[in-house]
Structure 1
Amino acid sequence: MSWIGPAAKKAVKYGPQAKIAWDKAGRPAAEIAAKKAQTQLQRRKAFAKAATVVEGSVIRLIHAGEPVHVVLAHGEPVEAYPPVDVELPVLLKDADLTAAVTSEDHEARRVKARVARARSRGRGRGRLTSSDEATGD
């Protein structure tokens, strides 16, 4: 284990600077990443719920500076992700309900994006040629 000596020397030498860097940049970046992951989780939960209700759709609103995804059934609010402390009709009072996305449209966009990413990486059923792109096949 000849690497322990040099590693220990580097830890002693650069440890204080590494801690300062973590406190200044690392911790805030980790908090932002965790917040974004939580928002994506709430969005996935909302679309999963919308898929279970009749004519389900999801609209994204901002409440108290945080994104809230409201599930609608027949245009009526059913549930909010994450849960909010106000009534859903009050939350939707000034919202444009035409911006709501149905769970089918959301899934179609996800599949289309996944196919586009796979093709750009060369992992699709075949690479698109210029003739395919021109004809739309």
Structure 2
Amino acid sequence: MSEQVSVKVQEADFDLGAELDGFGAGFADMGAVVSFTGIVRDVDGGLEAMEIEHYPGMTLKALEEIAAQAMARWSLGGVKVIHRYGRLVPSDRIMMVATASRHRKDAFEAAEFLMDYLKSRAPFWKKEHLKSGAQWVAARDEDEAALERW
């Protein structure tokens, strides 16, 4: 089984199609590629922008470690994680996760595990810039609870 792991933390947007095409290329022994793309959403119509901050070395290392955990826990041929930082507006892509496996169950579970980690434990700090002012985004109980199943 071929294996590949790619983790990127970047300010620039990414081409989802190109990233998935590149990730899936050469996986002749994989039967499933699962992907998820996170997008900035404006639930109440008041979000002007989301500002995402991080410590570069610490963030990349943490994401590489969780990708390695996914590779060890599930039968995967590959993992790709891209997470953006900086100022993003509603409908901008924040992140993507892709997993490849011989069978869809491992690919889906590993992708979900990675998404739950990124949502609750990845070392990013988010500030919402609302029409009414700016505020830091607090951790949500349901995001933490999602990690407990893993």
Q: What TM-score comes out, normalization by structure 1 length?
A: 0.27
Choose between structure 1 and 2 for higher RCO, CA contacts under 8 A separated by at least 6 residues. 2
Q: Higher helix share goes to which structure?
A: 1
Q: Higher strand share goes to which structure?
A: 2
